Structure 1
Amino acid sequence: MTDIVDELRWRGVLAQTTDEEALRKALADGPLTLYCGFDPTAKSLHVGHLTQILALRRFQLAGHRPIALVGGATGLIGDPKPSAERVLNDVETVQAWVNALRGQLAAFLDFDTPGPTQAVMADNYEWTQGLSALALLRDIGKHFSVNQMLARDTVRTRLDGEGMSYTEFSYVILQSLDFLELYRSHGCTLQIGGSDQWGNITAGLDLIRRVAGNQPHGPAHALTQNLLTKADGTKFGKTEGGAVWLDPELTTPYAFYQFWLNADDRDIPRYLRTFSFKSREEIEELEQATAERPQARAGQRALAEELTTLVHGAGQCAAVIAASRALFGQGELAELDEQTLTAALSELPVAQVTELAPIADLLALVDLVPSKSAARRTIKEGGAYLNNTKVESEDAVPTAGDLIHGRWLVLRRGKRNLGAVQLA
């Protein structure tokens, strides 16, 4: 076992723990069982969840047993947002999302190798669906102080604004019940989460102390991790197109790779420490390379390759790297499979046409130049490319044979400016 607390602190993600000395002892005496919960509020997890998912993975690699809990019950309620009430989804939708998230989480942890570190998948719907309102109020609710619940930051914010329903106000009770149930059934003594979950997690600790007074599995602990923000002040995990999802149907492997490749140089040291499984020496070398030669984007490339392989597999990663190279003239576009090419081109300015037009017209159509006359000047000066081949004539017109997979043309102005034309 390695000292996982020191590792998390070096990586800059450790926010708070309850009793660090006691937690270190429990980890040293391990293997310790811990859990993290993921509510199904959409059909996929996104990159914002990776901080907690990979923390579970680090604990497992350090010799501990992780439980990945997908909240089939809490997902029906929703952790209160500071801004407004959540929209409640129906049971069938939430259950479909539960199944999708379970499949995604299975790719990050070892659920198959028998032994003390074998991961466990859990769903809190299993122990709440048969729980009566009377039992919840008598057996669980009586241990919660309304004064403490009202003091929580999210509750105070909402009560100062539009208010909060009793449904969302009660969310903390359900999450606390999760910790108690996993403590009883699996000997789980540690819950981890984002720093915004501190109140929910410590409420679970208090419930365990009150209900399981003799604490047969020893004292329970809490550990939270810092929430990531971008150096430019925008929300981590967001792009112009929205969230960066782990589901390839929502965010293609190509777009996923490009998200990390395009990361701000200022963010790379934190991203490497938070997400990479490379050694400390390798990470520090990449940090130095990024600082000294930012144009090489060594840190971004290493992170993009590692995480795309982890989330989508080595084959998909190789395909998107090949696509990235081919788009800029370092590979054959025609050799890319249609799915990968389409995903790559969807990230570019795309114009749809019903018939082929002169290349000068197409350059203007995809806004690579401001006008057709500017397009003709670009061609004359040798700066226009069709499918990575320099366009020699100002009057050149692509033919059906130029269409990649029968429908795509890739246009480039200079070295870096790209656009695509799709024949409808």
Structure 2
Amino acid sequence: MATETSKQALDFEAAHQRLKGVVKHTPLQYNAGLSEKYECEVYLKREDLQVVRSYKLRGAYNMISQLDDDQLNRGVVCASAGNHAQGVAFSCKKLGTKGVIFMPEITPKQKVKQTQMFGNGNVEIVLTGDTFDDCLREALAYTEAHEMTFIPPFDTHPVIEGQGTVGVEILKDLPDAEVVVIPVGGGGLAAGAGTYLKQHNPDIRLIGVEPEGAPSMVKAFENNCPVTLDSIDRFVDGASVKRVGELTYILAREVLDEMLLVPEGKVCTTILKLYNEDAIVVEPAGALSVAVLDLVKEQIKGKKVVCIVSGGNNDIDRMQEIKEKSLLYEGLKHYFIVRFPQRPGALKLFVNNVLGPGDDITRFEFIKKTSKENGPALVGIELKNAEDYPALLQRMDAHRFEVIEINKDATLFEYLV
């Protein structure tokens, strides 16, 4: 249960006023295609159109803007490889304070440049460590040594309060919303927006969604307290944390009606569909709320549903990986180790008699081993329809090609593909 102290500390209307003229009141857009598909009214809360292309600016600015003059003169510190860093950088420039932003050394150059751009001379970026945890340790030590203020990405009242203004805007634009789907990483958005929405409409249904490879809030719910996951899949980087916040867990546990998980491949399919069908560019975390609709299609029929699209900072260099993950998830791409007989015509037989009319070889790596009767090859095949896969396997067997299905062996897949 959330404590009364937790509830009283969150003044969302005050935060909303504080953020006026700084953050955009982002559109709540009706989506005809999704509405028709799910037989309901689907609205997208477009935080991908925010000033820094994510909702993270709300919490960062709300906290920094409440610091006193002495704290602002000393400056602020944060640790982030993405949207939080950009929100802090923008806030530093707007409020005229110095920011030191710690990022892992592996942070893509695009994110570093974006952060520098929003800070526009007011921030110093320190690249350190191989992981976020390494980076965070350095940031906290620096904060203490220089007597600066640390700006957490989610687990503090002012940040949660700022993220809650997303909920304020939703109810201003759609007072009779019945279901709101909220992406969950550390839990700041769910705790903030969720608390505001439940306070003003106890009957509204709130659905939290995490990537399957980083189920930190789901595990917290199961264990009745936050737990640290041993490892996570960081693909959905904006919503992949090893441990949710203590305060965000308390608040989210009270207001969320359910927590669901979505496979990373499904997220990728959703990214591509939103781009191709609606010209909306979303990052993986921003696609979570739409990707989960298939899992709740029965309970949302006939209702007014809001999906929070949390961000649009998607590096174009990731699009090939996104397409690949989508094809694998949809059963349209498969990898094999195929042992080709070392005799003339073996490859021609495979192409002419094994592949179907809609199949395409997308990868082929073959090393002829003259000392053996058979030679292995890594073969990637893309299908026109997922239903064609069993017939492909039958033709391989009928023509006596020895194959290993790499898709079904995670270790082998990671090593070879």
| Bucket of the pairwise TM-score, normalised by the shorter protein | 0.3 to 0.5
Larger of the two Rg values belongs to structure = 1
Q: Give the TM-score normalised by structure 1.
A: 0.32
